[in-house]
Amino acid sequence: MKKIFVIAIVLFFGLAVKGFSQTVYASDKGEKYHTADCKLSGDAKDMTLAAAKKAGKGACGICKPDEHFKDKVAQCSGKTADGTRCKRMTSSKEGKCYQHKSA
């Protein structure tokens, strides 16, 4: 019984940490943070969700990044044109976002 309790605690904290390690986008002057594909992100730089909240930034009302991360469970495994890993999140079984899914 103790093992199950310990495992449950570890999983709970692991998922909590994962939620705060999500990448969001915010500008230095802006008051909101956004998802990677938000039309309002402008010149935003990537940062962790925890850093954005610590800086006092709120969630964008258009792209709703807090709701977006609930169904997106993994970072896309696709590569961008410059060879870096895609920063979008996905719930696809393929592990790729809509842009990198095979046709």
> Where are the domains positioned within the chain?
2-63, 72-103
Q: Which residue has the higher pLDDT, 69 or 16?
A: 69
Q: Which residue has the higher pLDDT, 67 or 20?
A: 67
Q: Which residue has the higher pLDDT, 1 or 30?
A: 30
**Residue 10: its pLDDT value, please?**
61
DSSP, collapsed to helix, strand or coil, labels residue 48 as strand
Task: Indicate the pTM of the whole model.
Answer: 0.51
User: Per-residue pLDDT tens for 4-49?
Assistant: 766 766 655 554 444 446 788 898 888 999 888 788 877 888 888 8
Tabulate helix, strand, coil % of the chain (nearest 5). Answer: 30, 20, 50
Q: How many CB atoms lie within 10 A of CB 63?
A: 21
